Amino acid sequence: MCCFSKIIKCITACGLIGLSTSCASLPGMGSAAVVKKANAVQFENAQGPVSANTSSAILKELTNEAGRREILERHLAFAQNVNRDSPLVTGNRLTLLKDGPATYQAMFAAIRAAQDHINLETYIFEDGEIGTTFANLLLEKQAAGVQVNIIYDSVGCLNTPAEFFERLSAGGIQLLEYNPVNPAKGNKNEWTLNNRDHRKLLVVDGKTAFLGGINISESYSRGSSSSVRRARNTADAKKSEAGWRDTHLQVKGPAVAEFQKLFMDTWSRQEGPPLASKQYFPKIEAQGDEIVRAIGSRSDSDESPIYLTLLSAIEHAERHVHLTNAYFVPDPELLKTLTDAAQRGVNVELILPGQTDSWMVFHAGRSHYAELLDAGVKLYERRGAVLHSKTATIDGVWSTIGSTNLDWRSFLHNDELNAVILGTDFSQQMNNLFAEDRAQSTPIDPQQWKHRSLLLRLKEWLAVRFEYWL
């Protein structure tokens, strides 16, 4: 269920009349100083900032084709202005995880191997077979002396019974409910129902991190290539239910400390109880050669670093922009950035859902298809699976994976978390995954789209009226 639907359910349950009509606004590219000439790009490794010569050598390795270094330096310089507290960290090993089964298997292995602590931050923690497996493993590790700390979102876990979390608490696990739906349980002076924690983060022993789009839910228990038959209402009323297509990332190396800082920051801002004394920031040696930037956006901040970083990357794109996203309800500046890129000759391709768990988000996104198609943007809708992935790869060197949708809610009202990765090898993995999804998608033909039915147009018109709140 999308966040908007759950919030409406919360409001009904609380007996409130409606949402606040005050609206925040997104920062534009003009809100930060445009970098005409690149400043020195600063990288870090396990020992801290590296020398200017080393930074220059890293950039040269990343951009070994003529003409690409200047463009990369320009957008990196802008991104550094936006992400002053998010360094580019070298020495990481990355594993790209496709869909729930592969992600859960890797997470379970990391949890079983935990020696010191486990920090989990999630939007949905569902009481089902997968959720119970997680709960049992976490309780087992807590009993063995590994401290487990969990942040879960109040709206995302609205359907999870209180008894589920009471069992975790009784086992010694530290729990923090993000922005409780019940104002009496709030830990802040201001009751901010509309601000949610949409992050999905697991940090184990301060050495391994997982992040991306995958919640703890039965929806992910099967991969995107599988489907099941489930009875609805009667034994004879059966409907095919597709698996969910999503992407997650496993990080090992010095960049894990940056994700750990973001977890700690959320715990502090939400006034969580004192954490048990553990080695949350151990010394980490280089594990590989991938370069990672951890970027966290906060709902209580006027800044939107993930949004501005993505806009900058698209604005400086030279060859291609490949976006895969679950909830596409773009603001005017993102639309303009995409269409401008296509019109200057960049190959801009978007893979979006062909089926979804929120018809309103689906049709609000479709209301923007005509403008994109007219500009030369190529659009595809994923078949046979519920697309929930949030990824991008640009010019074969810049990639991102995270929890951030391309909508107003993610950019304004949610705490979100993304990893930005620099490097051709990982970008090639991302492009291969994009090609797989594209092969299982239906291209949107511009001429056919112009002749879509009146009913579809009516749904788009209605849905777009609510796009700010979706």
Residue 203 pairs in a beta bridge with 119, 209
Angle between helices 68-82 and 305-315 (to 10 degrees): 160
Is residue 141 part of the annotated active site? The answer reads: no
DSSP secondary structure, 314-367, as one string: HHT-SSEEEEEES-EE--HHHHHHHHHHHHTT-EEEEEEESS-S-HHHHHHHHT
Supply the pLDDT for residue 3: 52
Whether the Cβ atoms of residue 92 and residue 254 lie closer than 8 Å to each other: yes
Catalytic annotation present for 248: no
Q: Which of 99, 395, 407, 437 is catalytic?
A: 395
Known catalytic membership, residue 388: yes
Separation CA 121–CA 124 (nearest Å): 9
Backbone angles phi, psi at 242, to 5 degrees: -75, 155
> What is the CB neighbour count within 10 angstroms for residue 286?
16
- Per annotation, catalytic residue among 207, 322, 390, 413: 390
pLDDT tens for the chain, 470 residues long, are 555 455 444 543 443 333 443 456 666 655 444 444 445 677 888 888 888 888 878 877 776 655 566 767 766 776 676 776 789 999 999 999 999 999 999 999 999 999 999 999 999 999 999 999 999 999 999 999 999 999 999 999 999 999 999 999 999 999 999 999 987 776 655 667 889 999 999 999 999 999 999 999 999 988 887 544 333 332 332 334 678 999 999 999 999 999 999 999 999 999 999 999 999 999 999 999 999 999 999 988 777 889 989 998 999 898 999 999 999 999 999 999 999 999 999 999 999 999 877 778 888 889 999 999 999 999 999 999 999 999 999 998 899 999 999 988 888 899 999 999 998 899 999 999 999 999 999 999 999 999 999 998 888 888 778 776 65
Count CA atoms closer than 13 A to 158's CA, side-chain side: 21
**200 carries an active-site annotation:** yes
List the catalytic residue out of 6, 117, 141, 200. Answer: 200
Q: Which of 153, 197, 205, 407 is catalytic?
A: 205
Query: For the CA atoms of 197, 200, 205, 206, what is the dihedral angle to 10 degrees?
Result: -70
Token duo for residue 414: 């949610």
Contact by Cβ (8 Å): 385, 349? no
Question: Is the C-alpha dihedral spanning 327, 328, 333, 337 positive or negative?
Answer: positive
Q: Which residues pair with 117 in a beta bridge?
A: 147
CA 79 to CA 71: how far, in whole Å? Answer: 12
Q: Which residues, in sequence order, are bridge partners of residue 417?
A: 296
- Single-letter code of the amino acid located at 452: R
- CA-wise closest residue to 123 among 362, 393, 434, 390: 390
Whole-angstrom distance, CA of residue 44 vs CA of residue 88: 6
Q: For residue 73, which of 85, 86, 88 has the smallest C-alpha distance? A: 88
Q: Is 120 helix (H, G, I), strand (E, B) or coil?
A: strand
* Residue with the two structure tokens 């802040």: 188
Task: Establish whether 153 is a catalytic residue.
Answer: no
Q: Which residues contact 248 (CB under 8 A, 6 or more apart)?
A: 97, 103, 200, 210, 211, 212, 213, 214, 401
Please state whether the predicted TM-score (pTM) of the whole model is above 0.95.
no
User: Catalytic: which of 141, 198, 413, 459?
Assistant: 198
Q: Is 116 a residue of the active site? A: no
Q: List the structure tokens of 366.
A: 């479709």
Tokens of 143: 């009993």
Q: Which of these is catalytic: 117, 322, 388, 459?
A: 388
